[in-house]
Amino acid sequence: MAPSCYWRHAARRRNPQLRSRRARQDDSLANEVQRVWHANWQVYGADKVWLQMNREGIRVARCTVERLMRRLGLEGVRRGRKVRTTLPDASAPCPLDRVNRVFKARRPNELWVSDFTYVSTWQGWLYVAFVIDVFARRIVGWRVSRTMQTDFVLDALEQALYERRPDANGLVHHSDRGAQYLSIRYSERLAEAGVKPSVGSRGDSYDNALAETINGLYKTELIHRRAPWKSRESVELATLQWVHWFNHTRLLEPIGYIPPAEAEANYFRQLAEKTET
């Protein structure tokens, strides 16, 4: 390095104001990039970090965010391969498939999907069940259990019914052919609540693709990144925190890169405006 270059570099380190305008902007933006990445469970890639910064009023080009993340050594998580969780019960009678792999809803509480997944801990396997409202991909019920019996998926359903209070006969509940979801107790509870049952008709992972997508995000963004897990209590607390972040903060591409809670709030606001007019 030439002496003049060395002294110029040393002077800029002593006095940051001597640095170029772009270098000073990069330093400021790098702090924001790190903040957003850490605030979102360290799972966002450049696209979502950029979108979140713009939502907060920080105007920056996507290529700048990508460049700064590369400089800082930050990257988003990548989904692994899909793993089947529930075991189909071929002998059990099945309700009709009311969804036919079209996971769309015009309003909240029109279509729910349910599934569960596995989590390995030092104390043995745990099972985590989710109930998701398809309209905004919002998680409306969940439960962690040490056993794979009907009780724990029923508990997740009970939470969803209590919190959402769906209108009788206005909601379809869809699942795959897992024995827990085809059990008499689960079917009776759906009927008691006025919820129409639906079960995938082909017996493969695409029958319940949306629920398996949420399971995949849960495993990728939380379970795999923080393993090994010591206890059920640690999984429950982390799941509670992740579900809250997922519902209220996480940007979801299928609903316009906004959080599920915001998508539902927008729907009800527009509905109220139509009612007033």
> What confidence category does residue 93 fall into, taking pLDDT thresholds of 50, 70 and 90?
low
Please give the pLDDT value at position 12. Answer: 52
Question: pLDDT tier at 219 (50, 70, 90 boundaries)?
Answer: very high
For residues 250 and 40, the answer to whether their CB atoms sit within 8 Å is: yes
Burial 215-235 (b: 16+ CB within 10 A, else e): bbbbbbbbbeeeeebeebeeb
What angle, 0 to 180 degrees and rounded to 10, lies between the N-to-C axes of helices 209-218 and 232-248? 120
pLDDT in tens, 237-262: 999 999 999 999 999 999 999 999 99
| Long-range contacts from 61-68, C-beta under 8 angstroms, 24+ separation | 64/26, 64/29, 65/29, 65/33, 68/26, 68/29, 68/30, 68/33
**Helix 46-55 and helix 21-39: axis angle, to 10°?**
100
pLDDT digits (tens, 9 = 90+) for 9-66: 544 555 555 567 778 899 999 999 999 999 999 999 999 999 999 999 999 999 999 9
Please give the model's pTM, rounded to 2 decimal places: 0.88
- 88 has pLDDT over 80: no
Dist CA 35 CA 29 (whole Å): 10
Predicted local distance difference test score (pLDDT) of residue 6: 47
Q: List domains and CATH numbers for the chain.
A: 3-72 (no CATH), 111-271 (3.30.420.10)
CA dihedral sign of residues 210, 158, 242, 117: negative
Residues 81-99 have a mean pLDDT of: 66
pLDDT at 276: 80
Percent of the chain predicted with pLDDT > 90: 78
- 113-127 residue pLDDT tens: 999 999 999 999 999
If one compares 139 and 79, the residue with the highest pLDDT of the two is 139
Q: Name the band, by pLDDT with cuts 50, 70 and 90, for residue 274.
A: confident
